[in-house]
Structure 1
Amino acid sequence: MRREEEDLALDPSAVLPDELLERIRSRAPGYDERNEFFREDFEELTAAGYLKAFVAKDDGGLGASLADVVRLQRRLAAAAPATALGVNMHLVWTGVARVFQARGDSSLDFVLEEAAAGEVFAFGISEAGNDSVLFDSTTTATPLPDGAYSFTGVKVFTSLSPVWTRMGTFGKDGTGPEPRLVYGFIRRDQPGWRHLDDWDTLGMRASQSCTTILEGAVAPADRIARTLPVGPNPDLLIFGIFAVFETLLAAVYTGIGERALELAVAAAHRRKSLRNGGRPYSQDPDVRWQLADAAIAVDGVLPQLERIAEDVDGIAERGSAWFPALSGLKHRATETARQVVEAAMRVGGGGGYFRSSELQRLYRDVLAGLYHPSDPESAHATVATALLGPIEDPAGS
């Protein structure tokens, strides 16, 4: 059920108090400079119960809704984008399990049970060159006699590489009459996987989203979540992953945009114009227009983000309209954040170009939004198909 009373929502400032966020913000430049995992942030967030956000209160969690976690992730991302993005991947799997529970499907209850016990989930889905994303895989899933599957392939952008204890992944089983996509969960303490030390990137450096090589990693039979046909599929797992992944990504990048706007406003008050007699740039009409335009853009994302999260929580009936709505949200949020950060760089002046500036780090971090699915081409194709129907075969077949 959708939360109808505001007092049922979590207070983000209670879960992430200012003192905790300031410590996290203070560590972000060092993690970025050293290309180092956000270990101290992770430890503090774990101690605060943040990784149990979607776990029910009776089981020791926060009992959060997706709308709650959207607000939390915006707040965390404003302090340390790479920390928020890394934690996001654990929250995706636990959020998907919560989507299942809310719809009467218990097949992912073990995810919430293990998260309650302190396990950390990685999102081992992305594959280089796989633009079908959830609808096909270059990883091989081999069935074993006891109902388990072994996975062999390469997964990229696996955040939380230093600390995950469980990884949700998938591959293609081609042994039957028709190929099937197999989704399952492997354990860190079992053989058949390794990381590459290859995360040396432009931005989001502290997430340490290293490449993972699967070399026969086994997901036991009781940790196989689904086997699905290749191609688009309305299964709840596909919906759940898409809904939670896109919405929480949008939350992280919106938080970056909000922080950039805050820094730009402070810069406009701080910087003085010699040409205008020492008056602050906050009195310059052009600067005022740029900041107002950025604020209007952020304000346009917020209700869309809140509404979609609430509709996921409320089990709204959107049918096939869900996928254009979700891909459109991710596209709008990441593009808006990028534009707002660029505007903040312009307003903030040349100081923002220095490595010591928080804005230059936000500028590098926000560019990662270009690479998460759905990419701009996919988002526009999805919305165009919803509006106009599929592209027709010119041969008429």
Structure 2
Amino acid sequence: MIEKWVYTDKQKRLVEKGERIREAAAANAKEADRGASFSDEVMKVVKEERYPSLPLPKEAGGENLSLYEFLLMQEKIAEGDGAVALSIGWHAGTMMELRDDRPWKEDQLQKLMDEVRKEQKVVNRLATEPATGSPTRGGMPETKATRKGDFYIINGKKIFASLADHLDYCIVTAYVEDQDDVGLFLIERNAQGVTVEKTWDTLGMRGTESDDLVLTDVEVPVSSLVETSTSKTVGPKGWLLHIPACYLGIAMGARNEAVEFAKNFQPNSLDTPIIEVPHIQDKIGTMEWKLLQAHSFLYDTARKWDEYPERREEWKGELGAVKLAVTNAAQEVVDLAMRISGGRGLSKNQPFEKYYRDVRAGLHNPPMDDAVIKMLAQGV
């Protein structure tokens, strides 16, 4: 079976943390999905497990989480609720990028890391806007930062603001007028003028709480400008593999539920549960080989990223290909799980329809399939 991993002692301990978060996520998934909100109880468990500080260097009070370890935990959490994994994955990935690339002034970075370590504070990058679409497409933000003495006044709106009401800090992109550049501002979520509009009403991943963040005359010190487009680091971002890991976890959850359903469902037209029916066995076997391929591609790439940091610039295409391959495989696995459960899988009393809705969102997380295919073609 897929889950028969061979763990190091550290990996085992981290996966156990992920399992405890998974349990909380699963227990609160229906309510979070129904209310399009992130559960307070789940966030409490996330912080008790010190998940926000795990990516920090050991000298900063963290576990120096590797990419491989990060993906193991993300996949495990997503088996309980993909929305929880995707949401908290943005924070953990951001902290990994800050740890590895050191793009800010050291005092700014140290201050944030100290707060994450001491108080398990949560941060997310917010770049998407109504007019620009995905920031990976290169649109100029309409959010503007106007210099006023030792402060900037920021006005604008961000959409897809995951964990909107559970963030402690937002890293917000804005056009910086006096520099004629795009800047990133570190802003406290409870700063005056920062509000959330409860607009998140989607088909899937409802529990990410990705509402709109509105900034109205938000005044921040000049030091809050932590990066600009001309100063930020560029290159492959391995931590973005948390996206396919999340959808792989959803597929694993669906596969597990489908196998249990097949073991226990026996219509009166049969002498055995449906798991003995040939076409059901074909579907289970197909799920298995698709999952084996997806796991191999994802974790082999993560292992290389960790073991050969000097070669990371070579792997931009491979990182995109992993996302494309794994998220599409996850779609196929969940579809097969739905076919095993039949019409019963459409019921709100069954877990399958939520897996089906949530896994679709993977097609719309960056990088998009067309962009990956174009990049791979140009790299030949």
TM category (shorter chain) comes to 0.7 to 0.9
Matched position secondary structure for 1:349: helix
Selected match of 2:349 from 347, 356, 361: 356
Measured in 1, the distance between the counterparts of 2:297 and 2:104 equals: 27
Q: Quick one: distance in 2 between partners of 1:312 and 1:108? A: 24
State the Cα RMSD in Å: 2.7
| Structure 1 equivalent of residue 213 of structure 2 | 212
Q: CA deviation at 1:72?
A: 0.6
> Does the C-alpha gap of structure 1 residues 105 and 302 become closer, same or farther in structure 2, counting only changes over 3 Å?
farther
Q: CA–CA distance in 2 between the matches of 1:71 and 1:190?
A: 35
Residues 1:313 and 2:316 are matched in the alignment: no
Residues 1:329 and 2:322 aligned together: yes
Q: SS of the counterpart of 2:297?
A: helix
Please list every run of 5 or more consecutive structure 2 residues that lacks an aligned counterpart in the other structure.
Answer: 1-6
Matched-pair contact (CA < 8 Å) for 1:185–1:223: yes
Quote the Cα distance in structure 2 between the aligned partners of 1:23 and 1:193: 29
State the alpha-carbon separation in 1 of the partners of residues 13 and 49 from structure 2. 14
Residue matched to 2:245 = 251
Q: Distance in 2 between matches of 1:10 and 1:96?
A: 24
Structure 2 residue 169 is matched with structure 1 residue 166: yes
Residues 24-43 of structure 1 mapped to structure 2, 5 A cutoff = 24-43=25-44
In structure 2, relative to structure 1, the CA distance for the partners of 1:297 and 1:320 (3 Å cut) is same
Partner amino acid for 2:233?
L
Q: How many correspondences in the alignment?
A: 371
Question: Secondary structure of 2:145's partner?
Answer: strand
CA distance in 2, matches of 1:117, 1:63: 16
Matched, 1:264 2:258: yes
TM-fit CA distance, 1:256? 0.5
Separation in structure 1 between the aligned mates of residue 131 and residue 333 of structure 2, nearest angstrom: 30
Question: Secondary structure in 1 aligned to 2:55?
Answer: coil
Is the Cα–Cα contact under 8 Å of residues 151 and 170 in structure 1 kept in the other structure?
Answer: no
2:306 and 2:156 map into 1 onto residues whose CA distance is 34
- Which residue number in structure 2 is paired with residue 128 of structure 1? 130
Describe the superposition over 1:187-215 as per-residue Cα deviations: whole angstroms up to 9, x where unpaired.
Answer: 12322322111112212222211011223
Residue matched to 2:233 = 237
Q: 1:372 aligns with which of 365, 368, 377?
A: 365
Alpha-carbon separation, structure 1, partners of 2:307 and 2:99: 12
CA contact (8 A) 1:151 1:214 kept: yes
Shift of 1:258: 0.9
Q: Equivalent of 1:144, from 143, 147, 171?
A: 147
Supply the distance in 2 between the matched residues of 1:318 and 1:129 (Cα, whole angstroms): 36
Shift of residue 82, structure 1, vs aligned partner: 1.4
Cα offset, 1:184, TM superposition: 2.2
Q: Give the TM-score, by structure 1 length.
A: 0.84
Question: CA offset at residue 158 of structure 1?
Answer: 0.6
